[in-house]
């Protein structure tokens, strides 16, 4: 009991000290084309980390948002909200043209994307899923709506990948399942679920304790994500490419493949089973197999293999 109270007290003191520190990454506006601006992060001692963060956000948000959200003049300025910007983590939220928002958390030392499964133990993830389902049922009941359990419970529990972490709270923004017609007639209301980090401290993983400053070891650069979501780099047919993957939800995976020389951007999405994704809706068929730290792929036209490639996680 005393050990638990000491841990909670140390967490509170760390969070208070963190809140008083200055921003770690500088932010500057960079032109994307002739009429578009987007924020870019920079730190003179963390150039590689900043590069990884910027490239992931440009593929996940900037290019898609600017293309979809430009006004009649063709101009669009993207704005980020930054709840946390310290030497351990960078939390970024940004609007989309659909009046929603995307939320990202990055390791400040490496620039790698951090998933919710990285922050909490398996018991913690199970707790969050139970709470999400319970609160969703309560919301439907309070609004006089019926919960359709068949085919819904598993999806709702999986809908935890869009989240915002601050030094004292976790907010989950479900959207994949919560926007479908759960009543059979009326769409579900917009919803989010908030949790206190002080309470969730019992569920923090090793990674979670380090990024929140509770533990100093292991070093941030030694920590790696368990999720397939992130930025991958390599070559396809001698051309440099970047592959941005979102967190998978309900056996589906989406992202963007970007060819750096030809500046060709290919958004994609498809069924993700056994760590394999096939994208048949392109002129060429593209298949990806995700391994810890890398992605192997193959390009095919009909039954002819055009090339095989391997991309490395950043």
Whole-number pLDDT of residue 69: 44
186 and 240 housed in the same domain: no
Burial zone of 36 (CB within 10 Å; 0-12 exposed, 13-18 middle, 19+ buried): buried
Q: Read off the pLDDT band of 125 (50, 70, 90).
A: very high
| Residue 224: inside a domain | no
Residues 309 and 273 occupy one common structural domain:
yes
CB atoms within 10 A of CB 68: 11
Q: How far apart are CA 309 and CA 295, in angstroms?
A: 8
Say what the pLDDT of residue 224 is: 92
- Model confidence at 185: pLDDT above 50: no
Residue 62 lies in a domain: yes
Total tally of structural domains belonging to the chain:
3
* Assigned domain for 18 exists: yes
CATH for 13: 3.30.565
User: pLDDT at residue 206 above 50?
Assistant: yes
Last residue of a domain, one of 62, 84, 116: 116
81 beta partners: 93
Kindly report the CATH number assigned to the domain that includes residue 268: 2.40.128
128 pLDDT higher than 90: yes
Of 68, 97, 116, the one marking the end of a domain is 116
Q: Give the three-state DSSP class for 52.
A: helix
Confidence check: pLDDT of 116 > 70: yes
Between residues 108 and 191, the one the model is more confident about: 108
Return the sign of the alpha-carbon dihedral for residues 207, 211, 214, 220: positive
The residue segments making up the domain with residue 61 are 2-116
- In order, the DSSP letters of 241-304 are EEEEEPPPBTTEEEEEEEETTTTEEEEEEEEEETTEEEE-SSSSEEEEEEETTEEEEEEEETTE
pTM of the full predicted structure?
Answer: 0.83
Mark whether 86 and 109 lie in a shared domain. Answer: yes
Same domain? 141 vs 198: yes
Q: Are residues 241 and 286 in the same domain?
A: yes
Share of the chain above pLDDT 70, in %: 75
Domain boundary among the residues 116, 147, 167 is at 116
Per-residue pLDDT, 32? 62
Q: What is the CA radius of gyration of the chain?
A: 20
Residues 43 and 102 in one domain: yes
Same domain, residue pair 84 and 127? no
- Phi/psi for 8 (5° steps) reads -65, -40
């Amino acid at each position: 009991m005393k050990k638990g109270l000491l841990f909670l007290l140390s967490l509170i003191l760390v969070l208070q000290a963190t809140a008083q520190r200055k921003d770690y990454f500088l932010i500057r506006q960079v032109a994307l084309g002739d009429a578009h601006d987007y924020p870019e992060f920079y730190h003179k001692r963390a150039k590689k980390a900043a590069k990884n963060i910027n490239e992931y956000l440009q593929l996940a948000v900037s290019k898609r948002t600017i293309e979809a959200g430009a006004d009649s003049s063709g101009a669009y300025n993207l704005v980020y909200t930054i709840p946390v910007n310290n030497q351990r983590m960078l939390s970024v939220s940004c609007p989309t043209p659909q009046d929603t928002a995307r939320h990202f958390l990055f390791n400040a030392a490496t620039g790698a994307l951090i998933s919710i499964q990285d922050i909490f133990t398996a018991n913690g993830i199970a707790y969050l899923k139970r709470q999400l389902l319970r609160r969703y049922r309560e919301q439907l009941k309070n609004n006089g709506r019926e919960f359709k359990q068949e085919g819904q419970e598993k999806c709702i529990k999986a809908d935890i990948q869009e989240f915002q972490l601050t030094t004292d709270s976790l907010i989950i923004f479900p959207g994949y399942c919560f926007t479908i017609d759960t009543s059979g007639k009326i769409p579900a209301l917009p919803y989010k679920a908030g949790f206190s980090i002080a309470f969730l401290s019992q569920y923090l993983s090793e990674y979670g304790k380090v990024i929140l400053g509770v533990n100093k070891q292991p070093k941030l650069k030694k920590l790696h994500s368990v999720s397939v979501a992130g930025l991958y780099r390599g070559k396809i047919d001698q051309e440099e490419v970047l592959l941005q993957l979102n967190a998978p939800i309900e056996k589906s995976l989406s992202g963007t493949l970007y060819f750096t020389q030809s500046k060709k951007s290919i958004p994609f999405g498809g069924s993700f089973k056994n760590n394999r994704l096939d994208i048949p809706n392109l002129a060429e068929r593209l298949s990806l197999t995700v391994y810890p730290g890398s992605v192997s792929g193959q390009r095919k036209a009909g039954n002819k293999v055009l090339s095989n490639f391997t991309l490395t996680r950043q």
